[in-house]
Chain A
């Protein structure tokens, strides 16, 4: 059986599955139950000056019968005094010394505020700190969370202040509400971060009630933007992790967060450079027990792949993620339809005819309706195989094309033959 223990910037954990800083890690009772269930670590719900919350805090986006495809919240950081949280952290760590407890922190961008909270939190024996520069709602209006996480100078400065006094590893949690997350990731590294985590939630409005015209959720008839998470955000998060992982300027480990719902998602994040993963929405949807399947699934997968340790998985796909300009322009795949499996719903034909490249022909053979791809005209967009409801009916197959050439190679070549005048 593969070794599931991980090490993130010196923080050791019995497995890569951590609960993210959020409602599931609000109290010692919850975190201890999570550890009993098998979670390797927990990032305690963000500590700071205790806030006041509103009622009606969460909303979900369901899609085509899937409940909680996306999740929106307007809950803020902890509303409990620091002393209460610290006592529970201490008790939890004492009971579970081999499990990982990270304290998520958020205070005003002032050196003395950071120094104070870091010292007090580390005194109770946390394994590391996570600086919450990502929370997009409420706290951002007060200059904290994503408001400071969107300003690289503030990310660097606050990380530096924390590192001035921190004795445990410092993880900087980044906001996705920014054009290029590598910029703030680099700022965190410049400030001395030992690791980075991403993504926090995405600015969102879950919906509008068509009867009342109120927002969803609403607080006495008024709404405010929340933070979006859950399965819907996974591709956004995975890209941000990958962009940081492949950046030569970001040389610290990553804790991946964003829509991770099962072991497969976790493995994808680890392949793209995450040393561990943090999970919230799936636990809120299904309970702490989901970690059991995650551990089993990941363990079996590692055994199948012949990997002795889960750390052997970390970053294995990063080199396969590149810039568009380095992709081979001449690589070619085309769709092939298996008419023995096809149910003649014609969704592929409609999709191709209406919205792609008009290369799937309808014809009749022995009185039976058939579909055929004109391979010469197929650009390999994949749309037909995406909309096809039957597994195995449409396969994308590689075809021999011209010799490989990337856009960047092409442009370099073109530059040597470029005309300075318009040719006619």
Chain B
């Protein structure tokens, strides 16, 4: 799988969770990439983003969410 295809899969996963009503609650970055905690009411989903493009994408989504709030 190409780097782009890997990124697309990760971005789709984020999009899917956001479309289900999840909000990004917390982010944490370390040597292994970015860990994202998403919340919908009491439900929580944790996602690890490995690709650079997906991490950029998540940043944009975070800005959109911050603007909406």
Q: In chain A between 354 and 393, which residues have their CB closer than 8 angstroms to a CB of chain B?
A: 357, 359, 374, 376-377
Residues of A within 8 A of B14 (CB): none
CB of A419 within 8 A of chain B? yes
Question: Within the complex, what minimum Cβ distance (angstroms) separates A424 from chain B?
Answer: 6
Give residues in B with beta carbon < 8 Å to A.
2-4, 24-30, 35-37, 46, 56-57, 59-60, 62-63, 66
Question: Within the complex, what minimum Cβ distance (angstroms) separates B14 from chain A?
Answer: 13
Q: Are A405 and B35 in contact (CB under 8 A)?
A: no
CB < 8 Å neighbour of A423 from B2, B37, B56? B37
Q: Are B26 and A417 in contact (CB under 8 A)?
A: yes
Tell me, in angstroms, the Cα distance from A359 to B2 when the chains sit together: 9
Residues of B within 8 A of A345 (CB): none
CB of A55 within 8 A of chain B? no
The 10 residue pairs across chains A and B that have the minimum distance between CB atoms:
A419-B26, A423-B35, A376-B4, A419-B28, A410-B59, A423-B28, A377-B4, A417-B27, A402-B60, A423-B37
Count A-B pairs with CB separation below 8 Å: 57
Tell me, in angstroms, the Cα distance from A418 to B62 when the chains sit together: 12
Residues of A within 8 A of B2 (CB): 359, 374, 376-377
Question: Contacts A376-B2, A377-B4 known; A419 to B27 CB distance under 8 Å?
Answer: yes
Q: Are A329 and B3 in contact (CB under 8 A)?
A: no
Question: Within the complex, what minimum Cβ distance (angstroms) separates B11 from chain A?
Answer: 10
CB of A52 within 8 A of chain B? no
Taking each of B24, B63, B66, which has the highest tally of chain A beta carbons within 10 Å of its own beta carbon?
A: B63
Tell me, in angstroms, the Cα distance from A410 to B52 when the chains sit together: 13
Tell me, in angstroms, the Cα distance from A402 to B55 when the chains sit together: 12
Chain A's closest residue to B44 (CB) is A423
Tell me, in angstroms, the Cα distance from A357 to B60 when the chains sit together: 24
Residues of B within 8 A of A414 (CB): 27, 29, 59, 62
Residues of A within 8 A of B25 (CB): 417
Question: Contacts A376-B4, A413-B62, A413-B63 known; A329 to B37 CB distance under 8 Å?
Answer: no
Residues of A within 8 A of B30 (CB): 422
Residues of B within 8 A of A66 (CB): none
CB of A319 within 8 A of chain B? no
CB of A53 within 8 A of chain B? no
Residues of B within 8 A of A374 (CB): 2, 4
